[in-house]
Structures are given as structure tokens and as C-alpha cells.
Structure 1
């Protein structure tokens, strides 16, 4: 079984990023949407510069988290911060995702926010239009204010249906939402997602990453 990819999202601190230099992290996420973890393109560019200090064969990919951006916003962002991945958390259409891939040298991850009020069968059938327009699918817990980043888990028994869709289209499936060092091993054991995404679960207070919690989370993921 391939190793589980690991994404740590919501980085804001140069010091924390420097302290992570030897950790086997695959993606670092920067939040540009409304959030207590929001950074500016200039701050992200500085943080991406720190990543270049890592061993060249271990530099994590940089992901930008946005909600319903327009093309001008993306162009201005990418002119400042050389991101590898654009992670879309809103109601972005398949055509929009396809256009992002065509216009910019980035991969596109589409987020599905899981909420209890809709049929997952309907949700998954709607995903068919995204085949060929995205490079990865990420499941997160719906949050009415921010869309995601709620720090709460969703019903994991919904994961297999999305896994089957992602596998059919040869896309990696990431799981986010309320993960921490105490529950991520259970998630990997039960559902074996291609990747996991953590933010609040490695913080000592909202928006403040805790390197001890980061270390513990990385250890749980990478020992699986």
C-alpha cells in the first residue's frame, strides 16, 4: 500500500515552518479565503521561500486554499506566490476548474464539503462533470461560515462512495475535517485515503500551529 500523503494546512509562521524542515510532509497549505488562518499573497511568497531551504528532494508542494475566486484574483495571487496546487472550497464549476488548469501551471484540488442535508448519491453524480477538470478530490466537514476548516469530523462511512468515484477517475482522495493525532490512525486503518489534511488538529489555539502536535500527527500518519 502506498504511503498516505500528508498535508498540513493554514501555515502562517516562518518559525513554525522552519521547525518542520526535517518532517516528511507532502503538502503545505496556505489559506487565502476568509479565515483566522488567512495570509496575503506576499506572506505566502515568504513562506514558500522558506520551503526552498528544505532538502531539494523533500520540498513539500504548496497549496493555496480559496473559496469562489475569479480568474483575476488567481492571476494576481500566482504572480506573487508560486503555488503548486489551487484548492477550491466553494461552488466552482467544472468549467472553472478546467480553465484554471489550462491557464496556470498548477494542479487543481476540488473540495466537497460534507453536510447531512443532501443525498450523497446526488452529490457523487454531480462530480462526474469534474472528471478531467481536477487533479484531486478532498472531503471536508461543511462549515456554514468558512465552508471548511471547522475542526469537526464528518460521518466517515460516507468515504467509500467518494473513494470509488475517485478511483474510477484515477484521482487521489484526501480527507480533512477534525483530524488530529488521536484519530488519524483510525481513519487510515479503516478507510486508507490517499491523503490526509490537518489544520486545527495541530494547533495549541485557533490559528497557532503547535510543533509538538505537528510532530505527533506526522508520526501517526507516516508510521502507518
Structure 2
């Protein structure tokens, strides 16, 4: 079971995630998000994670100049596109920067899964997240979920990751319903928006990894 802890912004919570076995860590580059980090902060956090977990730069409709600066200064392993970026934008960054690409797809019903097929041609990962609540300025990290069973037996050319409304209490059930082998969590391990909780991070990772070992 691969687990990504997203929206990390402090050294203490980064260390908690790495120590507890996170496979990926997400750094948020979106000023409207309470989890946003500056390039300077991101460089320090990425240095902590390098060689211990894959570093994911989470972006939302960012221009090529911004993406280039992140690639040059932070050196992520994966660039995550969490906005309305078309497949060709994902492909361009992959070719230009030689980096893996993850594309988020917003889900509320089965028909929403169809757009993942277009992105799976160029993306290395597809992340299925819940559609944001009406009026939200954040495309993700809203703490809302969807019918996880929509992903059961999904036939997709690339690996996918489940996100949206996950927390230590429901993650085992989410794995059972979806059949996923990869998870992404952000708000579900926070004590308030943007403030990660080390205890919740460890609890989530223990539950997720334990579910995999037990075959749940």
C-alpha cells in the first residue's frame, strides 16, 4: 500500500510522516490553500524527504515559468496537476523536465471516471479526489468524500490513488470498498485547516499499512 501525506508544511510533521513510513509527501504550491509553502520552505522540506520518500509538487493551473522554478529549486520526483490542466499540458512538463506526472480527477459519479482515460495516456498516476463543495476555492483538501466503490475493479492503464475525505477511522473501509493500492490524505490528518497533527499522521499510516498486510 502506497501512502501520500499531502500538504506538509513544517519540519516536525514532515519528520513524523517520513518516520511512520510515508511513501510520498506532497508540497502545496497554491497561495489560496492553507497548506501553501514558499519555495524556500519547500526546499528545506524536500531536502528532509529526499531519498526517503517521493517528493510531489502539487500545483493548480500553474504557468510554465512557475513549474520550471519548482523543478529547478525544489527538485520534485512528481508534479501533481490539481486544476483544469489539459493532457497536453501534463505531457509538456513531463517531456521538458523529465519528471513523473500525477493528474487529479474530480469525482462525484461514475461518469466522472471517463476523463481519467484521456489523462492516463500521459500521466504516471491518476488521483481520484472528491469534487469540491460549491463555493470552495480549493480543488482538493476539503475533507469531503464520494462513493469509493466507484473505483472497484477500475480498468485503467496507469496506477491510481484514492483521495477525498480519508482519515484514520475510515481508511480501512475505503480500501475495502475501492480496492485501491494507493492513498492520499491531507485534511484527514489535521487538527485544523492547514495544521497537520503528528499523532493523526502516524495513526493514518499505521491503519493503511496494516490494512494492506492483513489483506483488507
Q: TM-score, normalised by structure 1?
A: 0.87
How many residues of Structure 1 are paired with residues of Structure 2 in the alignment?
A: 207
2:8 paired residue among 4, 8, 11: 11
- Cα shift readout 1:33-57 (whole Å, capped 9, x = no counterpart): 22000011221111011124xxx5x
C-alpha distance in 2 between matches for 1:126 and 1:18: 36
Contact 2:16 2:201 in 1 (8 A): no
Identify the match of residue 44 of structure 1 among 42, 45, 60: 42
Equivalent position SS for 1:223 = helix
Residues 102-122 of structure 1 deviation map (CA, whole Å, 9 limit, x = unaligned): 011211011011246xxx43x
1:82 aligns with 2:71: no
Displacement of 1:17: 1.6
The CA deviation at 1:15 is: 1.8
- Which 5+ residue runs of structure 1 have no aligned equivalent? none
Distance in 1 separating the partners of 2:120 and 2:170: 31
Aligned residue runs from structure 1 range 130-145, under 5 A: 130-143=119-132, 144-145=136-137
Maintained 8 Å contact 2:20/2:206? no
- Tell me which stretches of 4 or more aligned residues in structure 1 moved more than 6 Å: none
2:201 and 2:179 map into 1 onto residues whose CA distance is 20
SS for the counterpart of 1:25 is coil
Structure 1 residues 105 and 223, CA gap change in structure 2 (3 angstroms): same
3-state SS of the aligned residue for 1:145? coil
CA-to-aligned-CA distance 1:110-155 (integer Å, 9 cap, x gap): 1011246xxx43x444433323311010011122311111111112
Cα root mean square deviation, aligned? 1.6
* Cα distance in 2 between the residues matched to 1:202 and 1:158: 24
Contact 1:30 1:63 in 2 (8 A): yes
Alpha-carbon separation, structure 1, partners of 2:106 and 2:119: 15
Q: Under a length normalisation based on structure 2, what TM-score does the superposition of the two structures give?
A: 0.90
Give the 5 Å matches for 1:159-174: 159-160=151-152, 163-164=154-155, 166=156, 169=157, 171-174=158-161
Q: 2:169: which partner in 1?
A: 182
What per-residue deviation string (whole Å, max 9, x for no partner) do you get for residues 19-68 of structure 1? 3442211000011022000011221111011124xxx5xx1101011111
